[in-house]
Amino acid sequence: MSHRAVFFDFGGTLFSYAEVRPYFDRMLRELARRHALTAPMEEIRTTFRRTVAKKMAEFLPRPFYLHRDLFGAAEVDLLTELGANPREGDDSLLYLGQTAAALVAVQPREGVGETLAALRGRGLHLGIVSNIDDDQFHPLFERIGLGSYFDAVTTSEEARSCKPHPGIYRHALRKTGGIAAEEVVFVGDSLDYDVAGAKALGMTTVLIRDFPGELAGGEDPDHVIEAIPELLQIVGA
């Protein structure tokens, strides 16, 4: 079956998080300042990574969740583990800080605009399907300046469904005017969130990764790329 549409994940796919990571220390230092944390920064970083990973594993099985709730819960756990006493309202700095950092730092991956233009030139429907809250997505989408290339966008908050659960994919498919899942190429950076859910519906899956290496866990993607322009050799092939 030939390809008629390409769906893209957003963060980590159309742009890399590499540019954002240097800003995370600023966010964590502000958290430490607000709560008079005395732990060394390396301990705060390690605890941050551990608590976010723990909450992501907890939230992943849910058909739907808001990311402000996920990172809010992670922030409460982080503060508690570091000896602070979180109060009501002490659950928004991680979520808001990530958004602010991304608005300063993110840029589209190299070759994204040219690739999207070429795909549109082939008559393909282009969509974004992202696990993201609306208040975070819209300013970031405006920031990267790719809106004119896309026919539709679907956020998890709009769909009330989060990848890898099928609801968000089906919501995006309804915007295509009748394109079947088997006619869609799905491009993402996560085996668990992007590849697993898209593959279960019969979509062709493409994993983008920043560094060469072995894949670990999750569903095997149909294709692996390291640069967005490589899609032009896959879509329609």
pLDDT of residue 18: 82
String of b and e for 47-56 (b: at least 16 CB within 10 Å)? bbeebbeebe
Domain final residue, candidates 85, 105, 125: 105
127 and 10 in a common domain: yes
Give the pLDDT of residue 130: 98
Q: 5's torsion region: left (phi>0), alpha (psi -120 to 50) or beta? A: beta
Q: Are residues 128 and 229 part of one domain? A: yes
- The whole model's pTM is what? 0.92
Which 3-state string (H, E, C) describes 174-195?
A: HHHCCCCHHHEEEEECCHHHHH
Domain CATH for 135:
3.40.50.1000
Last residue of a domain, one of 105, 134, 169: 105
Tell the burial category of 189 from Cβ atoms under 10 Å away from its Cβ (0-12, 13-18, 19+).
buried
Domain that holds residue 10: 5-17+106-233
Identify the domain boundary among 105, 130, 162: 105
In this structure, the answer to whether residues 222 and 140 fall within a common structural domain is yes
pLDDT at 212: 60
Count of domains forming the chain: 2
List, in sequence order, the alpha helices (H) in the chain: 21-35, 41-59, 67-81, 93-105, 112-121, 134-144, 156-159, 166-173, 196-200
Q: Each residue's pLDDT tens digit in the chain (237 positions)?
A: 689 999 999 999 999 888 887 888 889 999 999 999 999 999 999 999 999 999 999 999 999 999 999 999 999 999 999 999 888 776 788 899 888 888 888 899 999 999 999 999 999 999 999 999 999 999 999 999 999 999 999 999 999 999 999 999 999 999 999 999 999 999 999 999 999 999 999 999 999 987 665 455 556 899 999 999 999 999 965
Domain CATH code at residue 76: 1.10.150
pLDDT at 214 (0 to 100): 47
